[in-house]
Amino acid sequence: MSSPATAPGAPHGGARPGDAPTGGPPPVEAVRGDAPPVEVRGLIKRYGELTAVAGVDLTVNAGDVYGYLGPNGAGKTTSLRMMLGLIRPTAGTVRLFGRDPLESVGALQGVAGFVEAPAFYPYLGGRRNLELLAAFDGDSAADRIDEALDTVELADRGRDRVGGYSHGMRQRLGIAAALLRRPRLLLLDEPATGLDPGGMRDMRLLIRRLAGEGMTVVLSSHQLAEVEDLCNRVAIVRSGAVVYEGEIAELRRGAGQSYRLQSTDDERALAVCRAQPGIGDVRSQRLDDAGAGWISFTADERSVAELSQALVEAGALIRALAPQTVTLEDLFFSLTEGSAGSADLEDRRSGAEGQPTGGAGKKLARGTGTAR
C-alpha cells in the first residue's frame, strides 16, 4: 500500500518530503534557531463531509521520540502527510524547525520520513534504488549509501531486487532512504506495523539507535506497547482529535495509582480511608461469606504511607496492601473509546492535575467536530 500522495513515477512514491509537490523558489523564511522540530496548531483536514483531522495541536521538542498513537482511521497518516507537506491542510499550520513544509522543497531540509509504506522500483536492487534517490537529493547523499545500508542491516542484500524483499526489509530500506538526507527529524508512519516479532524488535532497536544519536523521531502507531517502549512523549488521537498530549509517565501518574488493602478490621479501615486526605475513590469489596474482603482506593505514594500510619493508630492493622497496576492499555481504551471508565479516568486525572506534582500532560476535549 503506497501513499495516495504518491507522485506518479516517483521511485519512492513521493513518500519522502523532499518531493513535496510544491516547487517554487528556495526557502526565504529565516529559520528560528530555537524553533522546535514540529509545531502543529489547529490542524484540520476535511474530505467532503468527513473530517479526517479535527484540530490537532502538538509540539515535538528536539530529542523527543514522539508517539502519535490512535486506532485505525484516527487520522494518523493524514496528519503525517500534512506534516511532511504532502497534502495541504484545510486549516491550521505545520512548522518544522519553524518552517512551513509547503513553502518549498528546501523548507524540508533536515527532515525525512515516509507515510504508510515507502515505495521503490521493485525490479531494481535496494542499493540501486538508493543511488537514484541520492542522485536526486545531491548534497553528497551518494556517499552515505553504504552507511545507510549498514545501519538498517541490509548491506548484504543491497544487490537483491526490492520486489523480492520482505515487508520488514522494505520498511528498513525506507529508513535507509530517509537517512541519506541526514535528517534531524524523522517522521515515520507505523514503521513496525505488519512486521513479525523479530522484525518489530529490529525496527525498535533501529529507532532507538537513531534517537540515541540525537535524531528527533515522530512515529505513528496503533500499538500501545510500541509507543510505551520507544517514546517519551505521546499524542493520543481519536476521531481526528488529540485526547491527550504529554509525557507517557505523566499519563500514568495522572491516572492515579490504585491500591488494594486488607486489614484486621475492614469496617474501621474503611472509615479511616474515607477520612484520610489524599485517598480517593474508596470502595469496599466482600470476598466471601466469612466476611473477608478488601478495600480499593487511589492515592499517591505519600498518601499511602500516611494512611498506613493512620490505620495502625486506629487499630486496623494491615494484612495486605498492594498497588494495582493501571496499564497503559486501560488508559488508551478509556481515552479512545470514551467508555464509562474514561469519565472515571478523567475525574481522577483532573484531580491529579490539581496537585503540586501535576505536570506537562494536557487533557483535551475529545472527539470535537469529527464527522465519524
For residue 72, the partner it binds in ligand ATP, Mg ion, none, with Cβ less than 5 to 8 A by kind, is: ligand ATP
Residue range at the interface with Mg ion (CB under 5 A); choices 57-65, 77-85, 163-171, 260-268: 77-85
Instruction: Please report whether residue 78 would count as binding ligand ATP according to CB under 6 A.
Output: yes
> Is residue 77 part of the contact set for Mg ion (CB under 5 A)?
yes
CB of 333 to ligand ATP, least distance (A): 16
Binding residues with ligand ATP: total (CB under 6 A): 13
Task: Name the CA dihedral angle for 140, 207, 240, 360, rounded to a multiple of 10 degrees.
Answer: -110
**Complex with ligand ATP: residue 70 or 361, whichever CB lies closer:** 70
Residue 312 binding target from Mg ion, ligand ATP, none, CB below 5 to 8 Å by type: none
Examine residue 77 and tell whether it contacts ligand ATP (CB under 6 A): yes
- If one counts every other C-beta atom within 10 angstroms of the C-beta of residue 350, the result is 12
Find residue 95's DSSP bridge partners: 39
Is position 221 an interface residue for Mg ion (rule: CB under 5 A)? no
Closer to Mg ion by Cβ: residue 116 or 266: 116
Nearer to ligand ATP, 59 or 193 (CB): 193
| Minimum CB distance to ligand ATP, residue 99 (Å) | 23
User: From the list Mg ion, ligand ATP, none, which binds 129 (C-beta under 5 to 8 Å, kind-based)?
Assistant: none
Task: Identify the residue whose cell numbers are 478495600.
Answer: 295
Residue nearest to Mg ion (CB): 77
As measured in angstroms, the least distance from the Cβ of 246 to Mg ion is 22
CB of 334 to Mg ion, least distance (A): 22
Which residue's CB is nearer to ligand ATP, number 81 or number 95? Answer: 81
Q: Interface residues for ligand ATP in 208-237 (CB under 6 A)?
A: 222
Is 96 within 8 Å of 107 (Cβ atoms)? Answer: yes
Minimum CB distance to ligand ATP smaller for 172 or for 222: 222
**Ramachandran bin of 47, using left for φ above 0, alpha for ψ from -120 to 50, beta for the remaining angles:** beta
Position 72 contacts ligand ATP (CB under 6 A): yes
Query: Quick check: 65 and 230 in contact, CB under 8 A?
Result: yes
Q: Which residue has the cell 520488514?
A: 168
Site residues for ligand ATP, window 19-58 (CB under 6 A)?
Answer: 47, 50, 52
The one of Mg ion, ligand ATP, none whose footprint includes residue 75, by CB under 5 to 8 A per kind, is ligand ATP
Stretch that binds Mg ion, among 33-41, 55-63, 74-82, 146-154 (CB under 5 A): 74-82
Instruction: Give the footprint of ligand ATP on this chain (CB under 6 A).
Output: 4, 47, 50, 52, 70, 72-78, 222
Instruction: Give the footprint of Mg ion on this chain (CB under 5 A).
Output: 76-77
